[in-house]
Amino acid sequence: MKRKRILSGMQPSGPLHLGNYHGALKNWLALQEDYECFYFIADWHSLTTLYENPQLVRKYSFEVAVDWLASGLDPEKCTLFVQSRIPEHAELHLILSMIVPVPWLERNPTYKEKQTEVKGVDMSSYGFLGYPVLQTADIVLYKADLVPVGIDQAPHLEISREIIRRFHSFYKKVFIEPEAKISDIPKLNGLDGRKMSKSYSNAIYLSDTEKDIAQKIQSMFTDPARLRRTDPGDPDVCNLFPFHKIYSSRETQEEIIPACRTAQIGCGDCKKKLTQSMLAGMAPILERRQEFVAKPREVEEILAAGTKKAQAIARATLQQTKDAMKL
Ligand code: TRP
Ligand code: SF4
């Protein structure tokens, strides 16, 4: 039986952090075992925010590729490629843009949010408004059945499905209406308790050194009601405890919970324990990362091979699109 096809992308808007890893990448790793997966670096999409510093796109694209490989995405199992190396994405984006009513894009909740959220960047561009159109081109070029995304991307998938239906109402059927595969992993907060994000400077990166990570854990916010060492704490409201749930053993967690509630353990000790378990948990990724950073040629070859394979599919779909439109 043919495996279902999965496609997903990540913007190279910076090196990947633990929020990206636990929120998306770990899911991608699991999926590569059971599906035919295509994962790509959405570098054109990242220009919607990085257009004033485009030189960063190349740098971050390499970082993201290394983060992927270090995390265990396996080029033997999945196809890894770079969006901007396949001009078919841009060409199909242009064709689709002719049939997309602008109000559909203006209604997009992400569009409205980001307008106000991204500080210091003017987000009133034509390209940003059309973000979901480019994303639709990304998906349909590969006839993906499923698109794993976070819940915040669900509206984009809905717009894609509407665009596809509209295309098929005018022309012969070529595309597949993809389904969103929403990962319901709760958001991992950053060092300060806000959502982990590069723009808040509160993230732990896969590219951090052991020393960086230890220092960052030291600076983490804990239970805000625990002002003194003698105050009891509450792991349920503590910003640090969710990291124990990911990285520490059951026994360690079960030790900490009552000891925190009775002030037998201080946050300093608790942070030391977390440092130990987190460094142990991240060690394989940090090690593999070092190896790939030292072999940029190999990383490049992996992307080149993936891009070649992806482009053959994209080219065929674009031709079918033009045939359907009798262009
Ligand atoms: N918008 C996605 C994000 O920021 C990235 C993306 C671009 C994408 N094109 C895609 C995801 C196609 C899935 C499918 O996370
Ligand atoms: Fe959080 Fe640990 Fe401090 Fe309790 S002891 S408040 S769990 S950091």
Q: What is the pLDDT of residues 186-221, one digit of tens each?
A: 778 999 999 999 989 999 999 999 999 999 999 999
Assess contact for 247 and 277: CB atoms under 8 A. yes
Burial 255-294 (b: 16+ CB within 10 A, else e): bbbebbeeeebbbeebbebbbebbeeebeebbebbeebee
State mean pLDDT over 251-267: 97
d(CA 300, CA 316): 24
- Cα separation of 68 and 95, whole Å? 31
Specify the ligand 1 atom closest to the Cα of 134.
9
Gyration radius of the chain's alpha carbons: 22
Strand-pair category, 36-41 with 179-183: unpaired
Residue 33 and residue 86 share a domain: yes
pLDDT band at 183 (very low <50, low <70, confident <90, very high): confident
CATH of the domain at 98: 3.40.50.620
Closest-CA residue, ligand 2 atom 7, reads: 235
pLDDT at 150: 86
> What is the Cα 10 distance to its own chain's centre?
5
> What distances in angstroms separate CA 299 from CA 29, 30, 75, 319, one per listed residue?
18, 21, 10, 30
Ligand nearest to the CA of 234: 2
pLDDT computed for residue 205 by the predictor = 98
Residue 201 in any domain: the answer is no
Active site residues: 114, 195, 198
What number is the average pLDDT over the span 26-35?
A: 96
- Could you tell me if 145 and 254 lie in one domain? no
Ligand 1 lined by 15 (C-beta under 6 Å): no
Render pLDDT for 58-78 as a digit per residue (tens, 0 to 9): 999 999 999 999 999 999 999
From the CA of 134, the nearest ligand is 1
Half-sphere exposure of 262 (CA within 13 A, CB side): 6
Whole-structure pTM value:
0.95
The pLDDT confidence band at residue 10, using thresholds 50, 70 and 90, is: very high
Q: Is residue 47 part of a domain?
A: yes
How many folded domains does the chain comprise? 2
264/316 same-domain check: no
115 within domain boundaries: yes
Cα 207–chain centre separation: 15
Residues 97 and 145 in one domain: yes
Q: What is the mean pLDDT of residues 220-224?
A: 97
pLDDT (tens digit per residue) in 143-168 = 999 999 988 889 999 999 999 999 99
Q: Which amino acid is at 285?
A: I
Atom of ligand 1 nearest to the CA of 150: 15
The Cα diameter of the chain in Å comes to: 76
The number of C-alpha atoms within 13 Å of 40 and in the hemisphere containing its C-beta is 33
- Residue 22 has what pLDDT? 94
The residue-averaged pLDDT of 277-306 equals 98
> Is residue 198 included in any domain, yes or no?
no
Mean of the per-residue pLDDT values of the chain: 96
Q: State the residue range of the domain holding 94.
A: 5-189+296-325
- The response to whether residue 45 sits with its C-beta less than 6 Å from ligand 1 reads yes
Asked if the structure places residue 196 within a domain, the reply is no
Q: Is 200 domain-assigned?
A: no
Tens of pLDDT, residue by residue over 164-179, are 999 999 999 999 999 9
Query: Does 194 fall in a domain?
Result: no
Helix (H, G, I), strand (E, B) or coil at 121: coil
Do 30 and 70 share a domain, yes or no? yes
Shared domain check, 244 and 181: no
Q: Which amino acid is at 20?
A: N
Same domain, 170 and 264: no
247, pLDDT greater than 90:
yes
Same domain, 125 and 154: yes
Q: Do 108 and 253 have their domain in common?
A: no
Q: Are residues 102 and 136 in the same domain?
A: yes
pLDDT on residue 184: 72
54 plus 164 within the same structural domain: yes
- Residue 100 domain-assigned? yes
Tokens matching residue 230 = 């003698």
Q: Give, using CA atoms, the residue closest to atom 3 of ligand 1.
A: 10
At a CB cut-off of 8 Å and minimum separation 6, what does 118 contact?
Answer: 49, 199
pLDDT of the residue at 2: 87
Q: 26: pLDDT confidence band, cut at 50, 70 and 90?
A: very high
Q: What does the pLDDT look like over 98-121, one tens digit per residue?
A: 999 999 999 998 888 877 777 788
Residues 99, 232: one domain? no
